Structure 1
Amino acid sequence: MNLDQFQSELAKNGIVLSEEQLGQFQRYFELLVEWNEKMNLTAITEQEEVYMKHFYDSLTAGMYVDLTKPIRICDIGAGAGFPSIPLKIAFPQLDITIIDSLNKRITFLNHLASELKLEHVQFVHGRAEEMGRKPEHREQYDMVTARAVARMSVLSELCLPFVKTGGTFVAMKAASAADEMEAAAKAIGTLGGKKEEVFSFRLPIENSERTIIVVRKEKETPKKYPRKPGTPNKTPIE
């Protein structure tokens, strides 16, 4: 995906970027490649692939979920900042918190935010299972997102404790997630959520499948969740 395609495909979906925003994406790409030589941030470093598989892919959330208001978003396990930093660039009014378990990624993100002059972004070093129990994070966010981090039954336990009642959990998945959703139904309900919508689509040009799952938080998550680090992955709620 070259720069013209990036702009035009986004514009077709209602996301129009200014010259300043395009400059931020270009600087993001440069820093990603530069820091990737020192630490493993991504296997994707070709410019056209980064723009397609990281930047455009992250921004698809803004095509299916209303991000025009100044809401608080928490991104769990964002790695090099996906999807929340591209969303922050395109929707500057968002207030973003990223939680990641690797401190060197947090160092990269702090540098990135400074270079891109991003405001209202916070980066927290920690495990989602532990941070989801802390009062400053538990049920404090309008929307929580995660991109291809784990199976839906596991992801629900990592993410739903952060969502305030009435807010949403938005999971970004690669291929069709019908089987995952069936297996995760009990976990989602147990944690206070209810499936609202599932959007399946294909990325332009390369045509690979993507699914965005929107779960509405209907009631508070029981106090026993999330369980200890590692437990959701070993023994998902089923």
Structure 2
Amino acid sequence: MDNTAAQFIFLLQEQGIKLTTEQLAQFELYFQALVSWNEKMNLTGIIERDQVYTKHFYDSLSLAFYADIEKVRNLADIGSGAGFPGIPLKICFPHLKLTIVDSLSKRITFLQHVCDTLKLSNVQLIHGRAEDVARQFAHRDAYDLVTARAVARLSLLNEFCLPFTRKDGIFAAMKGNDPSEELTEAKRSLKELRAELQKVESFSLPVEESARHIVMIRKTGATPAKYPRKAGIPAKSPLL
């Protein structure tokens, strides 16, 4: 075992997550697929192995430090890109029923390759806009935990993600810098979408110590019928 893998195991153990040999092998296969496919399509600007393990894998798993994933039945990852945080969470918590929504079909193709290579089951990959998918009965007000990592400002993210979240479920927005300003401008969207701020968790990534914040929002009621608005409208006219 090399230093990168050993450090990854140690850092997760500190947070109460113990990886099996099989799970560690899955992360390595994921890394290899990411680097290989990244030569053909733009998945990530981070390709150095130690950086991928810290800035993508560990960062994705940080959600489990603050949410009790063992009690989560189903997880929706909106705008997942190269599969973060959904795939790392699925590797560590195989019981999860994971749904990933992304608007680019070639990213969905990559994620299907990853799921097949890692032999992940109970993963649903959906090519579509969040505004459209959230209007489908199977996904509306349906998920225990919904997340999005570095996708958009909170006022816009709320309209993308809260319609997927069940009543009393949690939407966790994974952010870099202090989200205080975003929270202020997101007050109207929280009210409109029947949700309330539960807490904001902050920490630093190991080694480089860059700031991370996780905004935990609780859904208080069913999504009003008019939301989400038609694809493209929320981005042009966010709920401010």
TM-score (norm 1): 0.98
Q: Pairwise mapping of residues 88-237 of structure 1 onto structure 2 (< 5 A)?
A: 88-237=90-239
- The C-alpha deviation readout for 1:12-43, integer Å capped at 9, x for no partner, is 01111011100000000000011111111111
| Structure 1 ranges of 4+ moved more than 4 A | none
Select 1:65's aligned residue among 60, 63, 67: 67
Select 1:22's aligned residue among 13, 21, 24: 24
Quote how far apart the aligned CAs of 1:142 are: 0.8
- The C-alpha deviation readout for 1:115-161, integer Å capped at 9, x for no partner, is 10101101000000111111111111111100010000000000000
What is the RMSD of the two structures over their aligned residues, measured on CA atoms? Answer: 0.9
The amino acid across from 2:235 in the alignment is: N
Contact 2:139-2:164 at 8 Å conserved across structures: yes
Q: Any idea what SS the aligned residue of 2:100 has?
A: strand
Quote how far apart the aligned CAs of 1:69 are: 2.7
The amino acid across from 1:36 in the alignment is: N
Whole-angstrom CA distance in 2 between matches of 1:28 and 1:154:
30
Structure 2: give runs of 5+ residues left out of the alignment.
none
The amino acid across from 2:138 in the alignment is: E
* Paired position in structure 2 for 1:86: 88
Contact 1:69-1:94 at 8 Å conserved across structures: no
Q: Any idea what SS the aligned residue of 1:2 has?
A: helix
Quote how far apart the aligned CAs of 1:232 are: 1.0
* Paired position in structure 1 for 2:78: 76
The amino acid across from 2:39 in the alignment is: E
The amino acid across from 2:26 in the alignment is: Q
Whole-angstrom CA distance in 1 between matches of 2:138 and 2:182:
30
Quote how far apart the aligned CAs of 1:65 are: 0.5
The amino acid across from 1:10 in the alignment is: L
Whole-angstrom CA distance in 1 between matches of 2:67 and 2:234:
27
Contact 2:72-2:144 at 8 Å conserved across structures: no
Whole-angstrom CA distance in 2 between matches of 1:121 and 1:99:
11
Structure 1: give runs of 5+ residues left out of the alignment.
none
Whole-angstrom CA distance in 2 between matches of 1:5 and 1:121:
28
The amino acid across from 1:45 in the alignment is: I
TM-score (norm 2): 0.97
What percent of counterpart residues are identical?
53
Q: Any idea what SS the aligned residue of 1:165 has?
A: strand
Whole-angstrom CA distance in 1 between matches of 2:76 and 2:47:
26
Contact 1:69-1:93 at 8 Å conserved across structures: no
Describe the shift of the 1:30–1:53 C-alpha distance in structure 2 as closer, same or farther (beyond 3 A).
same
Aligned residues: 238
